[in-house]
Structure 1
Amino acid sequence: MLNFDEPRFLKIQGGAVALRARLDRVVSDCLTAGAENIYFLGTGGAAILMQPAAQLLQRCSRFPAFIDMPAELILTGSANLTSKSIIVMPSLSGTTKESVALLAQMKEIGATVITLVGHADTPLGKGGDHVFVNFAEDDTSCESFYLQSLFIALSIMRHRGEISNYAEIAAELERLPTLLLDVKRAYEPKAQEFASKLAAADYHIITGAGNVWPAAFYYGMCILEEMQWIRTRPVHASDFFHGTLELIDKDVSLILFKGEDALRPLAERVENFAPAYTEKMTVLDTAEFELPGISQEVRALISPILLATVLERISAHLEVMRNHPLTTRRYYKRVAY
């Protein structure tokens, strides 16, 4: 595979899977101590990666789950954020400015802070009540964060008696690192073609629904915009028909992500509409990826993880095709802001 280190990938995703048992113990202890809600409080891309787990709890559990922006909470606070709150703060670097500032505020409130970081010797690596370290870099962090947050959500549901097959789901998830590598290998021949469609236009509408909507939002903002300087319009598939559809014409690129959860029909609605008006619709559908031994229930849970793993392959080709390394920035962490 182009510019890809297979052993490194397996080590990183295996590291995320290895955190499951300890995450489960910490969640159990928090609930036993009387936790009343959970907040997923990441910044930027890391925040987006928490959305599928928060959504799972909001729709399948009666345990209150919130997702908010640290930059806003620092200024406003929240009536629901108390000493009985569980705080999940992801940051690959462990140094994200807004998250570090919020951490001090969480300490004052007395909330229990779980930090998910890539480096231990950092403010968030040192400052959490429960610190989970799994080294990763930009090209491998999505799957790692998706998995860790999913483990947290499933653990809450398990200990509240809201899920009866936790052990079976966990066993399937522990097989993912190797299966994801197989998905990458199988998709590699298609990755260059998809990348060529991204490179062929300087503007893309990118959409999805359910737990893959965050993947669409993340890829548009954090990869195409930040790392490739390609303008995008991420829009949820249900909102597509309330404004964005008027931007569609035969020369407008539309990228559609399709997952396998209950919200798939919203993506299919876009898929059925758009071909009559644009010649440039491209679909990325997780149902096309083979995952031997993985149940449909788990496939639905991991659709954003599957997208992340093939999008990395697409991005690897895109940066070469455009002669624009994914590490190139003009402003991000380069100038004061």
Structure 2
Amino acid sequence: MLKFDTELFLQLVGKEAIAKREEIEKVVDGISAKGFKNIFLIGSGGTIAMMYPYEYILKSNSTLEVHAEIAAELMVMNNRHLTKDSVCIFASVTGTTKETVAAAEFCKSKGATTIGLVAEQGTPLAEAVDYCISTGHEKHSFDTFFIHLQLLTFRFIHNNDEFPQYDQFAKEISLLPQGIVDALEQFDSQAEQFAIKHKNTDYHMLVGAGNLWGNTYSYAMCILEEMQWIKSKSIHAAEFFHGTLELVEEDTSVILFKGEDETRPLVERVERFAENITNELFIIDTKDYRLEGVSDEFRKHFAVCLNWALTGRISVYLERERNHPLETRRYYRKMAY
């Protein structure tokens, strides 16, 4: 597969990420024993998008109070739920995202307990939080963050006496990276053909829901817009029929992210509409991939990790076909704003 080292992925995500389980559980267990009132999931851009799946998972699987907040907005909104009894979780690959670092310092000043997911220790975010969970490297950081957020989220739910299956769940997470690799190999040619066909397409609609809404939002904004300078719109499947449907024409590119949680029928409704209008409907359905050893019970949660990895195959082929490196920027961190 283009620009994909299977052995490296399995080492970083399949071994090193999973090896953080004990550390993560120790952090969560200590916080749970101390007691807390609510959980804040905080990020900027791709990392707030990364938090949305876990906000959905917490809301649909637990009575724990949860808030997903954009770091910069949290700083100015005077959120009355944020107190010394809050647990605030942040993520930043570089550990230098200024809005996220400022929000971590702000939450800590309120007396909240803070947890940071970063690539490297010693970075500003790592230094700002009470507990730092580091990947040790930037490569495959998002894939690793998703694994760590699974463990964090479900350990909190388990400690709230709402997820007795946690031990089995955590064991099956260790099988997920190999399942993802198998799925990538199955999907790779589809990703390449999509990129070849759409290298000059100047607008895409991306539709998702439930725990895949964050990935939908992120792929449209952080990949297509930021990294490829392609106009796109992320649309929640539940809202698609309240405006956006009027813009679909026979040549409109519509990309559907189909997961396996309770919101799947919402995406299927969009699918039924779109297949009658456009000739450019592309579906990424996590149900198409086996995930050897993973229970049906847990597949809907792991769809977040799988979908993220699958979309990454499209990205590398778009980069090649458009001769536009994913690292190229015009403005982001290139000028003052």
Q: Which residue of 1 aligns with 2:83?
A: 82
- What is the rounded CA distance, in whole Å, between the counterparts of 1:76 and 1:317 in structure 2? 40
- What is the rounded CA distance, in whole Å, between the counterparts of 2:303 and 2:319 in structure 1? 24
User: In the comparison of the two structures, how many residue pairs are matched?
Assistant: 336
Do the aligned partners of 1:40 and 1:47 also contact (CA within 8 Å) in 2?
A: yes
Cα distance, 1:219–1:198 mapped onto 2, change above 3 Å = farther
In the TM superposition, what whole-angstrom CA distance separates every residue of 1:206-231 from its partner, at most 9, and x where no partner exists? 10111112111111111000000000
Matched residue of 2:332: which SS?
A: coil
Query: 1:271 deviation in Å?
Result: 0.7
Residue 55 (str. 1) matches residue 56 (str. 2) = yes
Q: Which residue of 2 aligns with 1:320?
A: 320
Query: 1:317 deviation in Å?
Result: 1.1
- What is the rounded CA distance, in whole Å, between the counterparts of 2:266 and 2:72 in structure 1? 31
Q: Which residue of 1 aligns with 2:30?
A: 29
Do the aligned partners of 2:36 and 2:86 also contact (CA within 8 Å) in 1?
A: yes
* Amino acid in structure 2 at the alignment position of 1:211: N
Matched residue of 1:9: which SS?
A: helix
User: Which range moved further: 245-254 or 304-313?
Assistant: 304-313
Superposition TM-score, scaled by structure 2 size: 0.96
Q: Which residue of 2 aligns with 1:203?
A: 203
Equivalence map 1:228-307=2 (5 Å): 228-307=228-307
Do the aligned partners of 2:41 and 2:68 also contact (CA within 8 Å) in 1?
A: yes
- What is the rounded CA distance, in whole Å, between the counterparts of 2:136 and 2:218 in structure 1? 20
Residue 41 (str. 1) matches residue 72 (str. 2) = no
Equivalence map 1:144-159=2 (5 Å): 144-159=144-159
Do the aligned partners of 2:105 and 2:129 also contact (CA within 8 Å) in 1?
A: no
- What is the rounded CA distance, in whole Å, between the counterparts of 2:232 and 2:332 in structure 1? 18
- What is the rounded CA distance, in whole Å, between the counterparts of 2:222 and 2:136 in structure 1? 19
Q: Which residue of 2 aligns with 1:68?
A: 69
Residue 94 (str. 1) matches residue 79 (str. 2) = no
- What is the rounded CA distance, in whole Å, between the counterparts of 2:106 and 2:237 in structure 1? 36
- What is the rounded CA distance, in whole Å, between the counterparts of 1:197 and 1:240 in structure 2? 25
- What is the rounded CA distance, in whole Å, between the counterparts of 1:19 and 1:10 in structure 2? 15
Do the aligned partners of 2:50 and 2:146 also contact (CA within 8 Å) in 1?
A: yes
Query: 1:136 deviation in Å?
Result: 4.5
In the TM superposition, what whole-angstrom CA distance separates every residue of 1:147-201 from its partner, at most 9, and x where no partner exists? 2112111001111110121111111011122222222222222221122243241
- What is the rounded CA distance, in whole Å, between the counterparts of 2:242 and 2:138 in structure 1? 37
Q: Which residue of 1 aligns with 2:177?
A: 177
Do the aligned partners of 1:50 and 1:145 also contact (CA within 8 Å) in 2?
A: no
Do the aligned partners of 1:258 and 1:285 also contact (CA within 8 Å) in 2?
A: yes
List, as ranges, runs of 4+ consecutive aligned residues in structure 1 with deviation greater than 3 Å: 135-138
Do the aligned partners of 1:142 and 1:305 also contact (CA within 8 Å) in 2?
A: no
Matched residue of 2:334: which SS?
A: coil
Query: 1:20 deviation in Å?
Result: 2.1
Q: Unaligned regions of 5+ residues in structure 1, if any?
A: none
- What is the rounded CA distance, in whole Å, between the counterparts of 1:212 and 1:8 in structure 2? 26
Q: What do you get for the CA RMSD once the two structures are aligned?
A: 1.3
Matched residue of 1:68: which SS?
A: strand
- What is the rounded CA distance, in whole Å, between the counterparts of 1:58 and 1:10 in structure 2? 31
Q: Which residue of 2 aligns with 1:308?
A: 308
- What is the rounded CA distance, in whole Å, between the counterparts of 1:309 and 1:104 in structure 2? 31
Do the aligned partners of 1:12 and 1:135 also contact (CA within 8 Å) in 2?
A: no
* Amino acid in structure 1 at the alignment position of 2:327: T
Query: 1:8 deviation in Å?
Result: 2.4
Do the aligned partners of 1:250 and 1:277 also contact (CA within 8 Å) in 2?
A: yes
In the TM superposition, what whole-angstrom CA distance separates every residue of 1:90-133 from its partner, at most 9, and x where no partner exists? 11110110011122222211111000001112111122111000
Query: 1:283 deviation in Å?
Result: 0.8
Do the aligned partners of 1:183 and 1:289 also contact (CA within 8 Å) in 2?
A: yes
Do the aligned partners of 1:143 and 1:309 also contact (CA within 8 Å) in 2?
A: yes
- What is the rounded CA distance, in whole Å, between the counterparts of 1:307 and 1:108 in structure 2? 36
In the TM superposition, what whole-angstrom CA distance separates every residue of 1:69-98 from its partner, at most 9, and x where no partner exists? 111121123111111111101111101100
- What is the rounded CA distance, in whole Å, between the counterparts of 1:48 and 1:38 in structure 2? 16
- What is the rounded CA distance, in whole Å, between the counterparts of 2:226 and 2:198 in structure 1? 14
Matched residue of 1:50: which SS?
A: helix
Superposition TM-score, scaled by structure 1 size: 0.96
- What is the rounded CA distance, in whole Å, between the counterparts of 2:48 and 2:17 in structure 1? 17
* Amino acid in structure 1 at the alignment position of 2:120: H
Residue 186 (str. 1) matches residue 186 (str. 2) = yes
Q: Which residue of 1 aligns with 2:104?
A: 103
Do the aligned partners of 2:84 and 2:111 also contact (CA within 8 Å) in 1?
A: yes
- What is the rounded CA distance, in whole Å, between the counterparts of 1:205 and 1:135 in structure 2? 35
**Aligned sequence identity (%):** 40
* Amino acid in structure 2 at the alignment position of 1:53: Y
- What is the rounded CA distance, in whole Å, between the counterparts of 2:54 and 2:25 in structure 1? 14
